[in-house]
Structure formats: C-alpha cells, structure tokens
Amino acid sequence: MTTKTNILTDSFYRKHTYLRISLTERCNLRCTYCMPAEGSVLSPKEHIMTADEIYNIAKTFVKNGVTKIRLTGGEPLVRKDAISILEKLASLPVEIGITTNAVIVDKFIPTFKRLNIKLINVSLDSLDAGKFEQITRRNYFKKVYDNIILLVKEGFAVKLNAVLIKDFNDNEIINFIELTKNININIRFIEFMPFDGNQWNIKKMVSYQEIMAVVHDYFNNKNVIRLEDAQHDTSKNYKIKGYQGSFAIISSVTNPFCDSCNRLRLTANGHLKNCLFSATEQNLLSAYRKGDNVEHLIQKAIQGKFKVRGGMDTLQKLQEPKLHSKNRSMINIGG
C-alpha cells in the first residue's frame, strides 16, 4: 500500500503551511530597495487575480495544509476590494496577517477587529522624517508613525520591519530598540537582500553579527536577553531587560533559515514562488482560468524548491548579478 505524499511537502521534507499572497503590485510609496528608481512594469489589470480567484486558489492551499495566510503587496490596502478579499479569506480556517506600510491602515482597524485579524507587520526603515522621505520618495513619516502607535494602542500584535543599509540607517539600531522600552512592539531588522533593480551590493548590507555587536556595545550584555524562537521563525529574537517590547534579526543573507522554511508566495498575477530568492515561478492563474486543477502545478513548484536560497547556497553565488537579477523586483513579488 502506498502513502500519498502531501503536495505541500518538498523533497527535503519541509511542509509548507504558510502562504503569502500579494494582492497588488501597486503601492503608495516608492521604497528604493523594493522597486527600481524608474518604477516597475506592472502586470495588466486583466492578469491580476480577482477577489474570487484569490479565495478559490487560497482554498486549495488550505485544503492541503496551509494554516496561515499573510496578505502583502505592493501595499495590499490600496486595492479597492481589499475588504471583500479580507472577508472571504477570514471565512477559511486559517490565521490571517497583513503586511502594510501603514499609510492608510487606520481606515481598516474596524474591519480588522470585526474579522479577528490581529497580526500586523509594518515597514518602517527610519525614525528620521528626512531619511524616511529619501528612502520612500514620499513625505508620510508622521502619518505612518502615528498609525503604528495607534495599532499598538488598539491591541494589535505589531511587528515593525526595518531594512538596514550601511551608512544610511545603520546608525538608528539603538533608536529602534529604544522604541521597545515603553511600547509593546517587535522591531525586526532585516538584512538587505538582492532583487532586480534595487542596486544591491553586499557592502551595503548590515549583517546579523554587526547588528548584535552594536547592541552588545550599547547595552550591558546581561541586559540583552535571548528569547526562544517560534517554530519556523525567520528571525532570531531578543529583548532588553525591563523593556516592554522586543527586537529580532532576519538574517536571510548571512544565516538563512532555509532548513525550517514553511513559506510559499503567490504573486498578484497568480504565480507561485517556492522561495523569495527563486527566479522560477509556476503560473497557477492561467491554469485555474482554463478550469484545470492547480494542485499538480503546486506540487511541481514545491518539488522544485532548492535546499537553500533558490540555489544560491553561498555568498559568492549571491553576489553574482546574473543569478539574482533574474528575480523580479520586490514590488512585483510581494513583500
């Protein structure tokens, strides 16, 4: 008697239970590490998944074992039917989270509460209004900061994501951590990663080791507490003794978490990426629109997943432009 292999389990026995769905390639910010300066070519509207297509494709993943869905973009909340999509997905037996830039998130707080959506990740790369405008190419710092504080006050579990870039915002590490002194928030420092058009250079990256050197230099070592990481966590978690919140480091470049990866990404135009670094994608939307069962395509994509970072298993390979430039820009993939 043969045992049927779950379609979400890859050849390295990693079971994928976490699906990130991009609702749109559009955004109300223009972050330099996310999209090229000249902008990004967007998929035609007819190539973007409708609300029903998102729901039905997501339902296939849930049927096969996905237990958590996070909605991303672009900025997911700029999509006109965002509330309808949230309502549809909230009817599934999964935990729902949102990644947002927080520019308009205050308008959605009643919806989040009604649908029991509590997990909110916010991107904020500087606590300096001038730097914020430089990196986002928009002047929304006060609005974003006020909305972050509002989310915390309203009882949401808020994670604040900051991509560190050397000689730009790496001098703000302590300032970010000091936010956790009186605010119950989780600051996550993210190593700068390569995508098409974001001018990535390893010399611009601030590594996990460099971040922790700054932390230990500023705080007495006995005050830096290592927290237990959750299963499948992408980050290494810490807190400062006596502080309300915590901080973490996502070291995708220097210390990837590939061995325990349980994540998949569905782009706004319905392509499945088995890894953020992968240059290959499986077009689920076209098959779905033809009436085909997409499960075999999902399984094919997952079986093709590399053990480490889309096949770039060394820093030398990661620094090879012809390898990482095949990947789409972050705005097209979904944050």
Residues whose CB is less than 8 angstroms from the CB of residue 2 and which lie 6 or more positions away in sequence, other chains included: none
Domain count of the chain?
Answer: 1
Q: Which long-range contacts (CB under 8 A, 24 or more apart) does 105-108 make?
A: 105/77, 105/147, 105/151, 106/147, 106/150, 107/77, 108/77, 108/82, 108/83
Q: What's the CA gap between 232 and 257, in Å, rounded? A: 8
* Assigned domain for 262 exists: yes
Q: Which residues of 98-116 are buried (b: 16+ CB within 10 A; e: fewer)?
A: bbbbbbbbeebbeebeebe
Q: What's the CA gap between 133 and 301, in Å, rounded? A: 38
* Assigned domain for 11 exists: no
pLDDT at 323: 54
Residues 63-94 pLDDT 10s: 999 999 999 988 999 999 999 999 999 999 99
Residues 33-47 pLDDT 10s: 666 666 667 888 999
* Assigned domain for 238 exists: yes
* Assigned domain for 202 exists: yes
pLDDT at 2: 40
* Assigned domain for 162 exists: yes
Give the range of the structural domain holding residue 158, as residue numbers without chain letter: 18-333
Mean pLDDT in consecutive groups of 10 residues from the start of the chain, 335 residues: 72 95 89 66 90 98 97 95 98 97 97 98 95 89 97 98 92 98 97 60 85 96 94 90 97 78 94 87 96 96 86 61 53 55
Task: Say which CATH number the domain at 302 has.
Answer: 3.20.20.70
Are 100 and 28 spatial neighbours (Cβ–Cβ below 8 Å)?
Answer: no
